[in-house]
């Protein structure tokens, strides 16, 4: 298929307000393309050249893209910049100029040709690499038709957001094979273990869905992390799962560790909850894994928290979070070293462990960690754990955890299996609610914003609309408009972030009542942490509930849109208020 034909699909998908129509268009596209190119098409649809968990940096800033565009179209840079400032979209700006200019050598290019040239941009490095990148992008702009340039420029700019989720993509795979979404459960099960849509699409296209539910974990491909359920009393928890393993609920960074020791060459990768490769951020954890893990290949999870090297105490999250940074990493690692408590084993020496009983997984994991017993020397530690099924004993363990400054406790079913991506009853988290006020926070997707009034007119934003995720319908439903919490500088930063993902029409994944619209819509991209006093029933919000007195607590850059608080979780949090 030519890239021109693919761009026509990009345009149709971008403009449709219907999730069902998006699914149909994707299935139609996948049926037309060859098995050898479907993985490349899937990555390009995501604005990438590789799976989302693989680090990708085109190394092309906005100024470099503007230079490439102006050069390729033989336009004065100032003139191009003025048009860009008016249009506000670098892709559409290039497209408009290209319509009026017939460049030498313009022709149809195949998807593979364009993909290869984009790879050349991403992989160029060293002296002279900037000119190579600008030159390759200029050549693409000169060669492609106007509509194709809109999308090919947006890919390295990081602004190709077509408004569909990974779940929509899985539905489209089902429609491609079966003509309906009946295969979605099977496909989703495979995706949770191997969240590489390009790999899955290519396998389905070539072999159908036979044996796809037998896909096993693979080292250096992250598994979507299991989530915990909530219950409001320990009595309910004991009744639900009986005798269980109790662990402290650490307040730090949840990490999934992938490790291979091949021919004495030790390789470690660390993935965050959102499947981001964060290996470079935590060199002390990497070294700890290399020294303390006794295995050839392993995938395990744990929580990394800040450690005071002088007192031996653990630090609150406000200090631990300072380790999440892109610069001065080694210096900060010396100032705030981390200790990682390992609590889950997923894969060991070629064998998946996710279907083994939790008690067996935990026992095996403890044997694989080589510790000296000196907290000042050991970076990697097995989690503290204890069996219990008595309410009073569990209550005492909870009180002990809170007195140590921890969030609460995790209660895990003895024979429970690991359920990738699921919020099952094998794990339950318990945090105390002391009154009718909500003490939990909510991870919400920013769906749009309203223009500012009064003092906020200068920011161009006065409040933003947030929603929670309905995993049954793969949609986002509103719960609040937030106008409190940010400082003046934070308001400016929020608007700058949101404007990168501004879109003319309400995204197809959003369910919004007519009385709760936004002045500006934002594509699904930014998750924020919201604090509120209460959850109330609300006919104004599509979730059926509203957060009372909502205020911004912080940005959740570690979470993807589908990692937001779910509608069912919102209802569970609301129960203690009744």
The three-point CA angle 93-99-103 to 5° equals: 105
The answer to whether the annotation marks 62 as part of a ligand binding site is: no
Give yes or no for a contact between 247 and 223, defined as CB atoms under 8 angstroms apart: no
Tally the residues of the chain.
Answer: 578
The answer to whether the annotation marks 303 as part of a ligand binding site is: yes
The answer to whether the annotation marks 254 as part of a ligand binding site is: yes
Please report where in the chains the tokens 């995993």 appear, as a residue: 471
Q: How large is the greatest C-alpha to C-alpha distance in the chain, in angstroms?
A: 80
The token pair at 419 is 């359920």
The continuous run of DSSP H or E covering 176 comes out as helix 166-178
Separation of alpha carbons 237 and 245, rounded Å: 12
Separation of alpha carbons 454 and 465, rounded Å: 19
Q: How many helices (H) and strands (E) does the chain have?
A: 20, 21
The answer to whether the annotation marks 392 as part of a ligand binding site is: no
SS3 annotation, 49-117: CCCCCCCCCCCCCHHHHHHHHHHHCCCCHHHHHHHHHHHCCHHHHHHHHHHCCCCCCCCCCEHHHHHHH
Question: What positions carry a catalytic annotation?
Answer: 249
C-alpha torsion 112→118→122→128, nearest 10? 120
Residues sharing a CB contact under 8 Å with residue 430, sequence separation 6 or more, in sequence order = 230, 231, 234, 237, 249, 398, 408, 409, 410, 411
The continuous run of DSSP H or E covering 282 comes out as none
The answer to whether the annotation marks 343 as part of a ligand binding site is: yes
Judged by DSSP in three states, 118 sits in helix
The three-point CA angle 431-436-442 to 5° equals: 55
The token pair at 179 is 């003509």
Beta-sheet pairing, 475-482 with 510-511? parallel
Feature table: binding site: 247, 254, 273, 303, 343, 423, 429
Feature table: binding site for ATP: 247, 254, 273, 303, 343, 423, 429
């Amino acid at each position: 298929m030519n890239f021109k034909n693919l761009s026509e699909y990009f345009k149709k998908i971008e403009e449709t307000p219907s999730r069902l129509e998006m699914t149909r268009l994707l299935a139609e596209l996948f049926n037309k393309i060859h098995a050898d190119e479907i993985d490349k098409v899937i990555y390009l649809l995501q604005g990438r050249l590789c799976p989302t968990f693989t680090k990708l940096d085109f190394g092309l800033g906005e100024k470099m893209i503007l230079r490439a565009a102006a050069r390729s179209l033989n336009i004065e840079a100032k003139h191009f910049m003025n048009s860009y400032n008016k249009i506000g979209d670098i892709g559409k700006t290039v497209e408009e100029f290209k319509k009026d200019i017939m460049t030498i050598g313009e022709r149809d290019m195949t998807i593979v040709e364009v993909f290869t040239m984009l790879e050349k941009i991403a992989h160029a490095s060293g002296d002279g690499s900037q000119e190579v990148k600008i030159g390759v992008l200029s050549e693409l702009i000169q060669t492609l038709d106007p509509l194709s340039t809109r999308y090919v420029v947006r890919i390295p700019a990081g602004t190709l957001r077509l408004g569909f989720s990974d779940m929509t993509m899985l539905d489209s795979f089902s429609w491609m094979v079966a003509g309906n979404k009946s295969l979605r459960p099977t496909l989703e099960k495979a995706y949770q273990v191997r969240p590489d849509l390009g790999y899955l699409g290519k396998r389905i296209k070539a072999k159908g869905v036979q044996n796809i539910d037998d896909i096993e974990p693979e080292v250096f491909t992250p598994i979507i992390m299991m989530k915990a359920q909530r219950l409001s009393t320990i009595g309910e928890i004991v009744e639900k799962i009986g005798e269980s393993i109790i662990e402290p609920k650490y307040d730090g960074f949840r990490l999934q560790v992938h490790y291979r020791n091949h021919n004495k060459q030790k390789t470690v990768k660390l993935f965050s909850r959102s499947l981001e490769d964060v290996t470079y951020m935590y060199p002390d954890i990497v070294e700890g894994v290399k020294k303390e893990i006794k295995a050839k290949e392993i995938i395990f999870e744990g929580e990394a928290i800040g450690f005071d090297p002088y007192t031996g105490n653990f630090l609150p999250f406000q200090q631990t979070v300072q380790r999440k940074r892109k610069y001065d990493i080694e210096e900060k690692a010396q100032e705030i070293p981390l200790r990682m408590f390992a609590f889950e084993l997923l894969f060991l020496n070629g064998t998946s462990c996710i279907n083994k009983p939790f008690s067996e997984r935990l026992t095996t994991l403890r044997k694989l960690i080589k510790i000296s017993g000196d907290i000042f020397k050991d970076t990697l530690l097995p989690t503290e754990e204890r069996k219990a099924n008595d309410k009073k004993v569990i209550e005492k363990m909870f009180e002990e955890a809170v007195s140590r400054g921890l969030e609460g406790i995790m209660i895990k079913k003895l024979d429970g299996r690991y359920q990738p991506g699921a919020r099952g009853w094998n794990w339950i988290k318990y945090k105390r609610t002391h009154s009718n006020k909500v003490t939990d926070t909510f991870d919400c997707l920013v769906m749009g914003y309203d223009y500012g009034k009064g003092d906020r007119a200068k920011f161009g934003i006065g409040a933003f609309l947030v929603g929670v995720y309905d995993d049954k319908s793969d949609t986002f439903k509103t719960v609040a408009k937030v106008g409190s919490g940010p400082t003046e500088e934070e308001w400016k930063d929020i608007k700058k972030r949101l404007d990168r993902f501004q879109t003319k029409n309400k995204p197809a994944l959003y369910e919004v009542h007519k009385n709760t619209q936004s002045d500006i819509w934002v594509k699904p991209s930014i998750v924020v942490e919201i604090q509120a006093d209460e959850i109330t029933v609300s006919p104004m919000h599509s979730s059926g509930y509203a957060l009372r007195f909502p205020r911004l607590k912080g940005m959740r850059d570690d979470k993807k849109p589908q990692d937001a608080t779910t509608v069912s979780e919102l209802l569970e949090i609301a129960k203690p208020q009744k």
